[in-house]
Amino acid sequence: MIIELLSTKQVIIRIAAIIASAEFLIMLVLRIVPFEMNAIAEAVLDVMLLATLSTPAVYLWVIKPFVNARDDALGQISHLAFTDALTQLANRRHVLKHLERVLASSVRHKIFGALLVIDLDGFKRVNDDFGHDAGDAVLVEIATRFRSSIRTEDVAGRMGGDEFVVMVDHLDVDEPQAKDKSLRIAEKLINLANRPFDFNGHVLHVGASIGICLLGSERLDAVEALNKADMAMYRAKKSGKGCAVLYDKSWE
């Protein structure tokens, strides 16, 4: 989206045009009034009418467009700062920021959440065989599938390369139930990743290995939670790929 801000020259021209038009109209009115006024009274009336007529016009034609364009520009800058350019998912910075909120919420409300780290299986083969355009198309489609499959309050992100994350808040107050729900979410994401992709007449296939860190069972920061989920994801890779593994404290 292209945002056009008023230039200094445009602002000056608009304000000058408004004042000149308002003053011209006032002079016409003063010339047709049926009674005579002294110079001071005429000057005071001129100023009052000029302010009355020009202020709304300056606001509507200069100030409001400038403020709206500025707010849109700031919103776009904020969006770019927290969004992965390719997939439009949350980027690493946004993921870490949101994950801290999920962790705090899980501890405060004593309800479990989950962090799922997803690594695509077979993605390098797609890049090698069909090129980076095909790889990018797969990443974009995976992002679309993941985004559409989670709740509106949950967040999907891309950490870089072919690694994605899904952050799920308020799963369950019961730990076994929360684990079971997180595994069902992971199974759904794996099934979505397994569906073939069409790219320029070619049918592409990837899979997904997922590591899960349950949030709320202990106090963690975002980096620690990511490391634990990463550890579980690598276990899933070693287990034959295409599966999900929950982090276990016994690994430490």
The residue with tokens 């770019």 is 80
What does each of the 252 residues of the chain score in pLDDT, given as a tens digit? 545 667 788 888 888 899 999 888 888 888 887 777 788 888 888 888 888 988 988 888 888 887 887 777 666 666 667 799 999 999 999 999 999 999 999 988 899 999 999 999 999 999 999 999 999 999 999 999 999 999 999 999 999 999 999 999 999 999 999 999 999 999 999 999 999 999 999 999 999 999 999 999 788 899 999 999 999 999 999 998 999 999 998 887
160 Cα distance to chain centroid: 16
Q: Where are the alpha helices (DSSP H) in the chain?
A: 8-32, 39-58, 64-81, 92-109, 123-130, 132-149, 175-194, 222-238
What does the pLDDT read at residue 190?
A: 97
The Cα–Cα gap between 74 and 88 comes to 18
- Residue 54 and residue 22 in contact, taking contact as beta carbons nearer than 8 Å: yes
The Cα–Cα gap between 60 and 68 comes to 11
What does the pLDDT read at residue 5?
A: 67
Which residues does 72 contact at the CB level (< 8 Å), separation at least 6?
Answer: 1, 3
For the annotated catalytic residues, the residue numbers are: 162
- Indicate the CATH number of 92-251 among 3.10.350.10, 3.40.50.2000, 3.30.70.270, 3.30.360.10: 3.30.70.270
What does the pLDDT read at residue 74?
A: 67
- 99: phi then psi, degrees, rounded to nearest 5: -60, -40
- Residue 50 and residue 21 in contact, taking contact as beta carbons nearer than 8 Å: no
3-class state of residue 68 by DSSP: helix
Each domain of the chain, given as residue ranges in start order, spans 8-81, 92-251
By CB atoms closer than 10 A (0-12, 13-18, 19+), residue 248 is: exposed
What does the pLDDT read at residue 41?
A: 81
Contacts within 8 Å (CB) and 24+ apart, 176-182: 178/112, 178/113, 178/114, 178/214, 178/216, 179/214, 179/246, 181/114, 182/114, 182/116, 182/212, 182/214, 182/246
